[in-house]
């Protein structure tokens, strides 16, 4: 998606060979018009698949997910993160290890909002090592729902998450695929 | 806003005389079409005021804020919550006490995204005791920015937050004002 790549080139900051900072338009300050274009693009790529619900994770997944939900005409659920969580019967839970923060948290979705009748599009802002995506897949499977695909705003293709999802047979659509951040430069895959 | 009140009547759950659960359409599962209507209504009520930026707080403020930002054509910043935060020079920070969770957290906004040139619309999902709103106002004032008003999706008018903002002279626009949750019933102010 060219508008997104352009935005990354202009406003993204390469902090290291692993870390791209996009807090100017995606995960702290958000550009609503770009989010609308992103939602439109996700809806186009996942059209006609009978998606009934979008699942994402707080907080940075919400903006792109809500715009995709608006275009596809389906509700969005965001998994909540907890530092500690007293287990409740009415929640699906999974653990996520954050590589950036080096901490483990629990994410949860209320059981009443996701059922075996749902066909789910998973959306997130970043795909790196894939820990968040795998935890979301875990939650969706606990509900007995099926997975239509995974929509990612920015994929760091040089980390393990994408290859793992491919190997598991999921359809992954990433709107910007980053081949490398070496030398402080963003180099895209295509 | 009638569509919102209707949704609260149909899908809200009164958990106690203080707590209204709206996780079916606002703060866990989100109804994107309703958020679009909400964004439209905020934009209508705050039109022509020269708003340059919307400020909200993660996670449930993001969906209504992004839709208002889309309509008004301005960026949205969401303050991040931290359990603990090592103070950094480039952040404005404020403490928020959560009445629901009985915990204190720190919220922060990156200094580079908010300046004294900004005229800010503050948006949040709920206004109850007003702790989150007051902390956001604190952050915005640290940046030297001015405040155009406060947009709230659901106001619990029987709690102190609204009266305090009124007394401070802020323009507050709440799309649903709840007079009482007594007897398990939602009673609106108008």
Instruction: Tell me whether residue A95 is annotated as binding.
Output: no
Closest chain A C-alpha to B61 CA, distance in angstroms: 10
- Flag whether A10 is in a domain: no
Instruction: Provide the 8-state DSSP code for B145.
Output: -
Max CA separation in chain B (angstroms): 49
Residues of B in contact with A70 (CB under 8 A): 32-33, 35-36
Contacts of A177-184 spanning 24+ positions with Cβ under 8 A:
A178/A8, A178/A20, A178/A154, A180/A17, A181/A14, A181/A16, A181/A17, A181/A18, A181/A19, A181/A20, A181/A156, A182/A17, A184/A14
pLDDT tens-digit readout, B81-95 = 987 666 567 999 999
The dihedral of CA A9, A12, A14, A18: what is its sign? negative
Out of A18-22, B7-11, B84-88, B147-151, which region has the weakest mean confidence (pLDDT)? B84-88
pLDDT tens-digit readout, A88-141 = 679 999 999 887 778 889 999 999 999 999 999 999 999 999 999 999 999 999
Which tokens belong to A97?
A: 């290890």
Per-chain mean pLDDT for chain A: 95
- Flag whether A11 is in a domain: no
- Flag whether A54 is in a domain: yes
Q: Above pLDDT 70, what percent of chain B?
A: 97
The answer on pLDDT for A14 being more than 80 is: yes
- Flag whether A79 is in a domain: yes
Confidence band (pLDDT; 50, 70, 90) for B103?
Answer: confident
Q: What total of structural domains would you count in chain A?
A: 1
Give a three-class secondary structure readout of B85-141. CCCCCCEEEEEEEECCCCEEEEEEEEHHHCCCCCEEEEEEEEECCCHHHHHHHHHHH
- Flag whether A3 is in a domain: no
Task: Enter the ipTM.
Answer: 0.96
pLDDT at A100: 72
The dihedral of CA A66, B173, B149, B58: what is its sign? negative
Which tokens belong to B81?
A: 């919550």
Contact assignment for A69 to B32 by CB distance below 8 Å? yes
- CATH number for the domain spanning B177: value is 3.40.50.2020
Instruction: Determine the structural domain holding residue A174 and report its residue range.
Output: 34-180
């Amino acid at each position: 998606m060219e508008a997104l790549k352009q935005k990354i080139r202009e406003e993204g900051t390469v902090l290291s060979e692993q870390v791209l900072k996009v807090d100017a338009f995606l995960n702290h300050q958000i550009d609503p018009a770009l989010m609308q274009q992103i939602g439109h693009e996700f809806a186009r790529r996942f059209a006609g698949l009978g998606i009934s619900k979008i699942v994402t994770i707080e907080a940075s997944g919400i903006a792109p997910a809500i715009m995709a939900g608006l275009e596809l005409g389906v509700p969005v659920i965001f998994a909540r993160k907890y530092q500690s969580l007293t287990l409740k019967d009415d929640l699906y839970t999974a653990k996520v290890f954050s590589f950036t923060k080096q901490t483990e948290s629990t994410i949860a979705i209320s059981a009443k909002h996701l059922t075996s009748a749902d066909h789910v599009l998973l959306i997130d802002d970043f795909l790196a090592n894939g820990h968040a995506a795998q935890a979301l897949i875990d939650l969706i499977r606990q509900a007995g729902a099926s997975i239509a695909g995974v929509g990612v705003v920015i994929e760091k293709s040089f980390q393990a998450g994408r290859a793992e999802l491919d190997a598991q047979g999921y359809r992954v659509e990433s709107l910007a695929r980053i081949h490398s951040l070496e030398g402080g430069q963003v180099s895209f895959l295509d």
